[in-house]
């Protein structure tokens, strides 16, 4: 039963990883940007929520309503200024710029919020569980986050396949120059993609802040998990990212079941195995022929 519990908890964690990873996947898929500041951006979202609560007196759960739109706008602006300027030079510059951004964010957060561990308090909501059996407690909050992850991915899938803007994003991701030739302003499209990426990562960041304590440097570890989820699932596949997150989550929980020290290691091993055996990930698109 403890094994079954590990799998259930792994799936719940996986939803959270997917939420974290989807923005990373979009930024890479559409613009070819590997955003090394992705985890730090999530941590900013947690801190913004933290700073907002004493001012607005909103319950922490409602932080999403304020922070997510804020991040969407911020993502658009970040893309149209800093990231686009570096993309216009070359992709390697962009990698360095996001790395620099990561360092700057961590240090500014340290300066403002100190290195004390913080958390977002949602009271008893966090501890309420649905007991499938006495051995398998399912936290309502984790369940809701899994549902949110599935909902976000589903909405994105619909958006990309059914709307004009979504098709434009796919077209620009496919061939930027050809997209311009049919009249697309690719910079604007990049901005929209970045807005989506940052909106999703802010949800993940706040959820993270609620689920566990966070410090200014928490972003780096989370970036690694997000990377692993994307690579396991396969770059360019939204549902693959969810599956990747879940595979990673289950691997970690099972590892922890064997020995708590193996939790993170088990995830890394599965990641390594996928890289070795299926470098394009479980759902990765085959190379264009």
CA distances from residue 265 to 85, 161, 218 in whole angstroms, order as listed: 38, 37, 18
Residue 168 is a binding residue for other proteins (CB under 8 A)? yes
Site for other proteins in 137-166 (CB under 8 A): 164
Binding residues with other proteins: total (CB under 8 A): 20
End-to-end CA separation in angstroms for the chain: 47
Candidate segments 73-81, 102-110, 167-175, 226-234, binder of other proteins by CB under 8 A: 167-175
Cβ contacts of 62 within 8 Å, gap of 6 or more:
none
| Cβ-Cβ contacts under 8 Å for 36 (sequence gap 6 or more) | 95, 98, 99, 101, 102, 223
Q: What is the DSSP letter of 125?
A: G
Provide the 8-state DSSP code for 122.
-
The alpha helices in 27-62, defined as continuous H runs, are: 38-56
52-61: which pairs have CB atoms within 8 A and are 24 or more residues apart?
A: 53/120, 59/122, 60/120, 60/121, 60/122, 60/206, 60/210, 61/122, 61/125
* Residue placing its CB nearer to other proteins in the complex, 56 or 185: 185
**Measured from the CB of residue 161, what is the shortest distance to other proteins in angstroms?**
9
Closer Cβ to other proteins, 181 or 261, answer by number:
181
Give the nearer residue to other proteins in terms of CB position, either 167 or 280. 167
Q: Which of 80, 170, 268, 280: binder of other proteins (CB under 8 A)?
A: 170
Decide if residue 288 touches other proteins (CB under 8 A): yes
CB of 234 to other proteins, least distance (A): 14
Beta carbons within 8 Å of 128's beta carbon, 6+ residues apart: 139, 140, 141
In angstroms, what is the minimal distance from the CB of 166 to other proteins?
Answer: 10
CA–CA separation, 157 vs 153, rounded Å?
Answer: 6
Indicate the burial class of 2 (C-beta count within 10 angstroms; 0-12, 13-18, 19 or more): exposed
- Please select the residue that binds other proteins; options are 77, 143, 171, 282, rule is CB under 8 A: 171
Tell me whether residue 125 or residue 171 sits nearer to other proteins (CB atom): 171
Q: CB nearer to other proteins: give 172 or 198.
A: 172
Determine if 88 is a binding residue for other proteins (CB under 8 A).
Answer: no
Structure token digits, residue 242? 């969810």
Q: For residues 83 and 89, what is the distance between their CA atoms, to the nearest angstrom?
A: 10
* Smallest distance, other proteins to C-beta of residue 39, A: 28
Residues 230-269 as x/- pattern, contact with other proteins by CB under 8 A: ----------------------------------------
Site for other proteins, residues 172 to 211, rule: CB under 8 A:
174-175, 177-186
In the complex with other proteins, which residue's Cβ is closer, 277 or 287?
287
Q: Which residue number, 55 or 181, has a Cβ lying nearer to other proteins?
A: 181
- Using CB under 8 A, list all residues that contact other proteins: 164, 167-168, 170-171, 174-175, 177-186, 285, 288-289
């Amino acid at each position: 039963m403890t094994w079954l519990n590990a799998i259930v908890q792994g799936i719940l964690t996986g939803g959270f990883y997917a939420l974290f990873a989807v923005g990373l996947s979009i930024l890479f898929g559409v613009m070819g940007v590997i955003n090394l500041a992705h985890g730090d951006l999530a941590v900013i979202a947690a801190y913004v929520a933290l700073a907002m609560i004493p001012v607005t007196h909103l319950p922490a759960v409602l932080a999403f309503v304020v922070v997510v739109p804020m991040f969407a706008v911020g993502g658009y602006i970040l893309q149209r200024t800093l990231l686009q300027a570096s993309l216009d030079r070359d992709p390697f510059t962009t990698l360095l710029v996001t790395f620099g951004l990561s360092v700057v964010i961590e240090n500014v957060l340290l300066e403002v919020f100190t290195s004390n561990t913080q958390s977002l308090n949602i009271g008893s909501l966090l501890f309420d569980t649905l007991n499938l059996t006495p051995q398998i407690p399912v936290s309502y909050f984790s369940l809701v986050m899994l549902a949110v992850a599935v909902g976000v991915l589903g909405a994105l899938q619909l958006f990309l396949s059914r709307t004009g803007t979504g098709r434009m994003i796919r077209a620009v991701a496919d061939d930027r120059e050809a997209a311009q030739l049919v009249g697309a302003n690719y910079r604007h499209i990049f901005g929209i993609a970045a807005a989506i990426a940052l909106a999703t990562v802010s949800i993940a960041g706040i959820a993270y802040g609620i689920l566990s304590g966070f410090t200014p440097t928490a972003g780096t570890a989370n970036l690694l998990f997000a990377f692993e989820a994307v690579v396991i699932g396969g770059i360019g596949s939204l549902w693959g990212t969810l599956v990747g997150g879940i595979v990673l989550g289950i691997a970690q929980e099972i590892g922890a079941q064997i020995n708590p020290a193996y939790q993170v290691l088990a995830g890394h091993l599965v990641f390594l195995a996928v890289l070795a055996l299926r470098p394009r990930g479980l759902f990765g698109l085959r190379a264009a022929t």
